[in-house]
Chains A and B, each alone.
Chain A
Amino acid sequence: MESWRDNRFVFWLLSLPGTFWISLFFIVPLSVLWIYSFGEKTGITDVAITWTGQNYGRVIEPVYLQIMWKSLWVSAVSTLICLLLAYPIAFAICFAPDRWKPILLLITILPFWINLLIRTYALLAVFRTNGYVNKAIGWLWNGIDWLFGGQHPFQPLELLYNNGSVIAGLVYVYLPFMVLPLYATVERLDKSYLEASLDLGASQLRTLLSVTVPLTMPGIVSGVILVFIPSLGAFLTPALLGGANAIMIGNVIETQFKSANDWPFGAALSFVLIYATFGILALRWAITARSKGVEF
């Protein structure tokens, strides 16, 4: 890594378009919303900017804390499952012959080009009580049961409308956000390191944990960020796949901007998510700075 002073021209060339775009089309509009988060609703459309803290005060009411806690653990579990599924996929793609790589990448990404809503409806059709998964299991079960005298007819499994189905749905939405960054880092993994490790007598597991994972850490970190953070704000998946207590923080925020018509509170909730993320990034920075190891 070099100092920006050593190559000012390239530094500015690389940074200007992105900085311009993010400032004009993101920071400027968002700063209005940020100011809103310190405002009070005075009419149907009027907001008085009083620099009050009451919107943030509302955020720590038990009901919202409870919803946030639930969003956190649901997103964390989804992210973990994404990682466990995506790691082998990324390896399979990268270790496949060159000719097959684009096809495998495409096969992985193709389902995600179908509209989310249509895809979720299709997911409902597969996993509902009379869905195809239950039909298949029931057919198998009843077959085996018949062999043993037919004492226990099949009871369809309740696969939908619980926290499990929300997690499955989030994995279904965000899997490519894990696969693609992993692919980009695993692809440049030098296989000779792995061979060396195995030759020197390390087991496969040991090699995975002490060679492969550290070398692909940048991809893992990117993937975790790209899955965990957006799934915190998801609202469609919990609404369609969750049961009677499926609400997540994304649903609360959505309601504030729509039917509840309380933009200051919605803005405060959104910015709490941002502050939390800044905290996580700062933590990561602190850890990197201390270990002075691989820089992400």
Chain B
Amino acid sequence: MAAVLWNRTPQGPLEYSRRLWLKLLLFATFFFLYSPIAVLIAFSFNTSKRNITWQGFTLNNYVVAWNNPDLLDAFTNSLIIAFCSTLVSTLIGGMVGLQLWRFRFPGKTAYEAFMALPIVIPEISMGVALMAFFIRIGWLTSDVGWPLNLGPIIVAHIAFSFPFVSIVVRSRMVGFNVQLEEASRDLGANQWQTFRYVLVPFMKPGLVAGALLAFTLSLDDFVITYFTSGPGSVTFPVKVYSLVRRGVTPDINAASTVLIAITVIATVLAMKLQAPTKAAKG
């Protein structure tokens, strides 16, 4: 299959990925996206305490990061929050996306506008509003211990993530051919079976895109997390921002590099595991 990328057959009119100017544009875009990341990784091996000038090579930052329990805890917290929030917001967002695509109902435009509110509102407004609310209902002040003290943060992250998912899922569903669904019913499938075997496979790219968005939003959120956190729930972004006054140290770069490495390895592994089943199907 990979041969498609390098074959020397004449270029078809739809093979956009083989056009030179498009290749150049993509190359420039990815260069723009990755050059700062390359610098960041390079500085994770720097002997200087600051991310400004190159002084010499060392692996010490990785040792420092590994031996910093606060940093590891912050990382764990961030991943737990992002995982839970992504799961729930993909589910809820997918359902809302389906509903908005599928049904006509009175007040739909207003309903849609309300669902879009978390995207519109500046983060800080949502942060302080949720903080006041959580304090009021006693969630931030109840000493429930780890990891339940991450609950309010997760709840807040779901609230601002799932509207993003629903917008993506809905724009995906617009192209669905309703006749497919009718065909499925005619062939005797019930509503659930039709949903499971016809709608969901079609939704999948929308769900994947939505889940990736939700994960990205959650992992990088500082403002809302800061305001909805109680004692003992420092996340990675909160840790990084509180470092600003003293300067960001290279062990943070080391930790970020490790995150990139883990993601890449996990994806490659997942693809290796998935490949045989696909081949069997094909």
Contact = CB atoms under 8 A, between A and B. Distances in A.
A binds B: yes
Interface of A: 1-4, 7, 10-11, 13-15, 17-18, 21-22, 25-30, 32-33, 85, 88-89, 91-92, 95-100, 102-103, 105-119, 121-123, 125-126, 132-133, 168, 172, 175-177, 180-181, 183-185, 187-189, 191, 194-195, 198, 204, 215, 218-219, 221-222, 225-226, 229-230, 233, 235, 250, 253-254, 257-258, 263, 266-267, 270, 273-274, 277-278, 281-282, 285, 294-296
Given A4-B104, A117-B241, A277-B120, A28 B125 contact: no
Contacts of A198: 13-14
Contact of A3 (B105, B123, B209, B278): B105
Interface of B: 1-2, 4-5, 13-17, 22, 25-26, 29-30, 32-37, 39-40, 43, 51-52, 91-93, 95-96, 98-99, 101-105, 109, 112-126, 128-130, 132-133, 155-156, 158-159, 162-164, 166-172, 174-176, 191, 202, 205-206, 208-210, 212-213, 215-216, 219-220, 222, 236-237, 240-241, 244, 248, 252-253, 256, 259-260, 263-264, 267, 270-271, 275, 278
Given A91-B17, A110-B264, A277-B120, 18 more contacts: A3-B105, A10-B191, A18-B99, A25-B130, A29-B126, A89-B26, A91-B22, A99-B271, A113-B215, A115-B256, A187-B172, A204-B13, A215-B175, A219-B171, A222-B171, A226-B167, A233-B122, A274-B121
Given A25-B156, A185-B174, A109 B121 contact: no
A185 to B, nearest CB: 5
B270 to A, nearest CB: 8
Given A11-B99, A14-B95, A285-B109, A118 B119 contact: no
A233 B168 CA distance: 21
Contact of B172 (A13, A116, A188, A191): A188
B14 A194 contact: yes
26 contacts: A3-B104, A3-B105, A22-B114, A22-B115, A26-B126, A29-B133, A30-B125, A33-B128, A33-B129, A88-B16, A89-B29, A99-B1, A110-B37, A114-B259, A125-B43, A172-B32, A184-B206, A218-B175, A219-B171, A219-B172, A226-B119, A233-B122, A233-B123, A266-B125, A270-B121, A296-B170
B174 A273 contact: no
Contacts of B240: 115, 117-118
Contact of A218 (B104, B174, B213): B174
A1 B122 CA distance: 33
A30 B117 contact: yes
A97 B40 contact: no
Contact of B171 (A102, A181, A277): A181
A111 B158 CA distance: 22
Contact of B103 (A4, A96, A263): A4
Contacts of A105: 208-209, 212
Given A29-B129, A111-B33, A229-B119, A183 B256 contact: no
B129 to A, nearest CB: 4
Given A22-B114, A113-B220, A281-B116, A102 B121 contact: no
B84 to A, nearest CB: 14
A177 to B, nearest CB: 7
A22 B104 CA distance: 20
A62 B162 CA distance: 37
B205 A184 contact: yes
Given A111-B34, A225-B116, A1 B103 contact: yes
Contact of A180 (B176, B209, B275): B209
Contact of A28 (B124, B133, B156, B206): B133
A27 to B, nearest CB: 7
Contacts of B25: 85, 88
Nearest to A115: B240
A282 B109 contact: yes
A97 to B, nearest CB: 5
Contacts of A168: 32
B14 A95 contact: yes
Contacts of A116: 220, 222, 237
Contacts of A22: 114-115, 117-118, 159, 163
B117 to A, nearest CB: 6
A126 B171 CA distance: 36
Contacts of A21: 92, 158-159, 162
Contacts of A274: 117, 120-121
B13 A113 contact: no
B17 A92 contact: yes
Contact of B112 (A89, A115, A172, A281): A281
Q: Which of B162, B167, B191, B275 has the most CB of A within 10 A?
A: B167
A188 B175 contact: yes
A177 B220 CA distance: 14
B244 A11 contact: no
Contacts of B244: 117
